[in-house]
Amino acid sequence: MNYFRTAILLAAMTALFMAVGAVIGGQTGMAIAFVIALAMNAFSYWNSDKMVLRMYGAREVDERSAPGYYGMVRALAASARLPMPRVYIMENDQPNAFATGRNPDNAAVAATTGLLGSLNEEEVAGVMAHELAHISSRDTLIMTMTATIAGAISMLANFGMFFGRNRDSNAPFGFIGMIVIMFLAPVAAALVQMAISRSREYEADKLGAEISGQPLQLASALKKIAGKAKLIPNMAAERNPASAHMFIINPLSGERMDNLFSTHPSTENRVARLVAMARERGRAAIPPAAATPRGRSGPWGSRGRSGPWG
């Protein structure tokens, strides 16, 4: 079912890309856009994970450079019965994380230094289990590919506005059509991303809590990340908003229309579901978000390149 849904959603993104091409250049523009979309889909399938990791300046770590973080991911991957993913750290003060890769055998997880430095060990484990849940459910392929295609749709719409419509084309709406498509195409791409991401976040929360065995710690982590993400900008995400749906919490500041078209469900709803899940397991109420913080030193060592986080 995931493969069928992936094909449908990618077809929708491709059709939208072709529609932008048609408005800019008529039938010729649509044909060119179709060829570009096919090439982009093929390229994205094999390389989108590398592109996203490079976009965020992620550096790969191993057991020697980040023993605590790497060992945690290895233990969680074993619990989830997944192959060991590649493990990355992003130098970013905003606490956040994402997973990428076309399948479980070619997957990667990435966490920011802000996440590793501001959450305690159990909360970090809850976050990384959530990301492994995306890998287990094979969400990462479509999440990464739609980030690439949505960004291309926005770029193509802007290209049309700057360079104008080919007068010899048979595009039906002319300059007015380009103005409309400039606004509607990114919105439509965002709506597709919303359809992809929101339900998958709930499922990843549930499966991630099962992998880690700590639904309340994941709930606590979500509250902390959401609170800090509003205060600490993620400039790489602001420059590439089409990739925002990949993160566990929306990394965008919301200064534009990010909240209106957020690809993430409300943190309060996600926390409530995790609390209900814990209660079903006979757990106590959620601990305060500030409980057992791990500062610059603690059971996982010092922050930065010299510590076990890498």
Q: Which residue, among 263, 277, 139, 293, has the nearest Cα to 219 in the 3D structure?
A: 277
Token representation of residue 23: 């408005």
Q: Which residues are catalytic?
A: 131
The answer to whether the beta carbons of residues 87 and 66 sit under 8 Å apart is: yes
Query: Exposed, middle or buried: residue 276 (CB in 10 Å: 0-12, 13-18, 19+)?
Result: exposed
Q: Which residue, among 83, 90, 89, has the nearest Cα to 105 in the 3D structure?
A: 83
Direct distance between the N- and C-terminal alpha carbons of the chain, in angstroms, rounded to an integer = 38
Q: Write the secondary structure of 100-137 as one string of H (helix), E (strand) and C (coil).
A: EECCHHHEEEEEEHHHHHHCCHHHHHHHHHHHHHHHHC
The answer to whether the beta carbons of residues 141 and 102 sit under 8 Å apart is: yes
The answer to whether the beta carbons of residues 189 and 154 sit under 8 Å apart is: yes
The answer to whether the beta carbons of residues 53 and 73 sit under 8 Å apart is: no
What sign results for the dihedral spanned by CA atoms 202, 154, 171, 177? positive
Partnered with residue 109 across adjacent β-strands are: 87, 99
Beta-strand relationship, 107-112 and 86-90: parallel
